[in-house]
Amino acid sequence: MNIFDLTGKTAVVTGGGRGLGLGMARALCEAGARVVMIGSSKSVLSAAEKLRARGFEAYGLQGDLSRTEKLPELFAQAVEPLGGRLDILVNNAGVQRRNKCEDFLINDWEAVLQVNLTAVFRLCQLAGRKMLEQGGGKIINLASMLSYFGGYTVPAYAASKGGVAQLTKALSNEWAGRGIQVNAIAPGYMATDMNEALIRDEGRSREILGRIPAGRWGTPEDMKGIVVFLASGASDYISGAVIPVDGGYLGK
Ligand SMILES: NC(=O)c1ccc[n+]([C@@H]2O[C@H](COP(=O)([O-])OP(=O)(O)OC[C@H]3O[C@@H](n4cnc5c(N)ncnc54)[C@H](O)[C@@H]3O)[C@@H](O)[C@H]2O)c1
């Protein structure tokens, strides 16, 4: 069905070098988009190279999203290989810090909020201005089950992801009438590097799995359909939504 076709579209995926971001960058390429992946380590460059070897137009860009003042420059660098046009922004990069609330360090709080919320807002703003000029676009933010729940030992992450869900709605309210759909994906428990500690903790891991009706952890492959849907014309009347991709976890 060509309503999902992204041929000729341009996309930026933050944290696109591994995990869920890489799965989504790959999916956008497969649907026809030209993609720039931003990552904090050099591995984003080799991840993009692998996609190019498969015939896709993908570029890697190393940059640190926690440096708020540098974000306009990083954004300009990201859209350059795309000819300055941006149709799709996927705010996927995120970090996690774990500690009991009473011991949680303010530095960890700030590190998490900076990448998971402040950079998301700033990139939405930079992309939004461009998309308003262009007459439209798609913004896809990464929320979480912790946009709904408080979790344990992850106060900064829960606060940041609750913020991402609300920010998505706030931006949608102002921009949906001007051609920009702003939505969020809330992944359930996905087997990626970010969850290494949870997966290693046998008790927690068993408890989590026991609550997932699908009977398995999610994978980067599970993100492909939703990201192409939200990036394409198929979702033109969907905005301000936070869509769970969780194997049924929330419903239990
Ligand atoms: N894995 C899960 O179960 C899960 C569940 C819900 C939401 N999420 C969210 O999905 C997104 C991706 O998660 P993942 O599991 O693939 O994580 P991951 O740890 O595997 O990857 C995170 C990516 O973010 C990038 N990144 C982190 N800090 C950065 C910085 N300062 N500058 C530039 N890039 C930076 C890293 O380079 C990496 O590519 C995150 O926003 C995460 O919060 C994940």
Is 212's C-beta closer than 6 angstroms to any atom of ligand 1?
A: no
- For atom 42 of ligand 1, the residue with the nearest CA is 94
Is 162's C-beta closer than 6 angstroms to any atom of ligand 1?
A: no
Is 60's C-beta closer than 6 angstroms to any atom of ligand 1?
A: no
pLDDT of residue 197: 87
Task: For ligand 1, pick from 26, 97, 192 the residue to mutate: most ligand atoms within 8 Å of CB.
Answer: 192
Report whether 23 contacts 47 (CB < 8 A). Answer: no
CA 170 – ligand 1 centroid, Å: 23
Is 66's C-beta closer than 6 angstroms to any atom of ligand 1?
A: yes
pLDDT of residue 81: 98
Q: Which 3 state secondary structure label does DSSP give 84?
A: coil
pLDDT of residue 76: 98
Compute the average pLDDT of residues 8-20: 97
Active site residues: 157
pLDDT digits (tens, 9 = 90+) for 146-186: 999 999 999 999 999 999 999 999 999 999 999 999 999 99
Where are the extended beta strands (E) located within 95-247?
A: 137-142, 180-187, 242-245
- Rounded Cα distance between 155 and 8, Å, is 41
Compute the average pLDDT of residues 219-235: 98
Kindly report the backbone phi and psi dihedral angles of residue 216, in degrees, each rounded to the nearest multiple of 5, phi listed first: -155, 160
Q: Which residues contact 103 (CB under 8 A, 6 or more apart)?
A: none
CA 77 – ligand 1 centroid, Å: 21
Compute the average pLDDT of residues 61-83: 98
Is 193's C-beta closer than 6 angstroms to any atom of ligand 1?
A: yes
Beta bridge partners of 35: 11, 58
pLDDT of residue 198: 87
Q: Is the pLDDT reported for residue 1 higher than 80?
A: no
Tokens of 78: 């990201």
Indicate the pLDDT class of residue 8, thresholds 50, 70 and 90: very high
- Rounded Cα distance between 148 and 144, Å, is 8
CA 194 – ligand 1 centroid, Å: 7
Confidence (pTM): 0.98
Q: Is the pLDDT reported for residue 26 higher than 70?
A: yes
Residue 241, number of CB atoms within 10 A of its CB = 17
CA 98 – ligand 1 centroid, Å: 15
Averaged confidence pLDDT in the chain: 97
**CB-based burial, 116-127: b 16+ in 10 Å, e otherwise:** bbbbbbbbbebb
CA 191 – ligand 1 centroid, Å: 12
Is 21's C-beta closer than 6 angstroms to any atom of ligand 1?
A: yes
- For atom 25 of ligand 1, the residue with the nearest CA is 15
pLDDT digits (tens, 9 = 90+) for 88-111: 999 999 999 999 999 999 999 999
Compute the average pLDDT of residues 199-211: 93
**Cα separations (Å) of 166 from 24, 93, 161?**
22, 18, 9
Provide the terminal-to-terminal Cα distance of the chain, rounded to the nearest Å. Answer: 33
Tokens of 189: 């428990």
Is 115's C-beta closer than 6 angstroms to any atom of ligand 1?
A: yes
